[in-house]
Amino acid sequence: MEEINGRLLNWASILEPTTREQAERTAAMPFIHPHLALMPDAHLGKGATVGSVIPTEGAIIPAAVGVDIGCGMMAVRTQFSADDLGGPLDVLHGQIARAVPLSAGRYNKSVRDSAAPRVEELRAMPGVDQADGVAGSWPLQLGSLGSGNHFIEVSLDEADRVWLFLHSGSRGVGNKLASVHIRRAQEWCRAQGIELADRDLAYLPEGTPEFDAYIEALRWAQRFAWLNREEMMDRVVDQLSRFLKTGVERLEQVQCHHNYTEREEHYGREVWLSRKGAISARKGQWGLIPGSMGTASYVVVGKGNVPALMSSPHGAGRNHSRTAARRLFTRADLDQRMTGIAWGRSNAFLDEHPDAYKDIDVVMSDAADLVEVRHTLRQIVNVKGD
């Protein structure tokens, strides 16, 4: 761990100067307490750094949570082993891709029976009026993946046991809710004459109607993201059952957010803790840290590191922008890196090339004081939206 200054602690051995400067700007905000913790996968984000843990008193920075509210991971260990996967994995890839809508803007044509009780739960929550106002189609979004670094994978662990693993968030409705409140924070700060080092550090102070409305939308979107992952996992489990002609037993199950805010106690004080690209890693708490296409992912248990605000990285963290990745990497190289994995085989995934991300082994080494690795996963099926 590196103490950059009294308000910023850093666990990343790979830290670009622009990322460091951005984190320093966020840590300098007057309501940060006790300090900002920078995770091993830290990289440049919008406003606040991706891979940062931001405790605030009396205010929240909506852009420090981000536009994919509640984004996170879910994993299930099944009773199957590699030897049970007799059929061609491209067939399983196709089944999953047909069962879950992929890519930005692609949703279900109707609310499925499995999704209906989850939709009803969300309809009964405070915040649904805001969701209806920005995206009336949100019930059709439940059970859809999205694009970018979101994925569904079938993986094998160190004992060749079969896991199902997925990554997604609150989809279009979460993005629109976040965008509304980021803009409101900017308008509030501007109306108060508050000068900011970065307009995306605009905040909402506790006790204002704007703050209350954001918290309501935030909690609704976080729950939507959680249920979205549950709905997708149910469908993936069903497809694996069909593929193997045997029911799936869920022997282990882990789920965690990595873009969210919760009320937590740290250093003896209640704070709003925003994890933007970080997971909670309290002592004994299970979590998930994916690598990238073609690299390992990890099932971990938290160590409850107090200076790290009981948090850990959420993945490998980008090393190159999407535009740069498309310039740097070739389809032939990506094909080689994905040898032995059933995947989408599309140029659309060049910006997800493993080398567009930090070395996950370095990230996990940096996180040795934050989490303990319980399982190491390697994917054999990778489903993504373009």
Q: Nearest CA to 228 among 284, 152, 319? A: 152
**How far lies 22's CA from each of 29, 200, 252, in Å?**
12, 11, 38
Helix H or strand E segment including 125: none
Contact 25, 201 (CB under 8 A): yes
Tell me the C-alpha distance between 208 and 59, whole Å: 10
Other C-beta atoms within 10 Å of 122: how many?
Answer: 21
**Structure tokens that stand for 284 in this block:** 């004994």
Tell me the C-alpha distance between 381 and 379, whole Å: 6
**Three-class SS of residue 314?**
coil
Tell me the C-alpha distance between 315 and 167, whole Å: 11
Catalytic residue chosen out of the listed positions 35, 93, 150, 314: 314
Q: What is the largest CA-CA distance in the chain?
A: 65
Tell me the C-alpha distance between 60 and 230, whole Å: 28
Indicate if 314 belongs to the active site.
yes
Helix H or strand E segment including 290: none
Q: Nearest CA to 358 among 323, 325, 331, 336? A: 325
Catalytic residues: 314
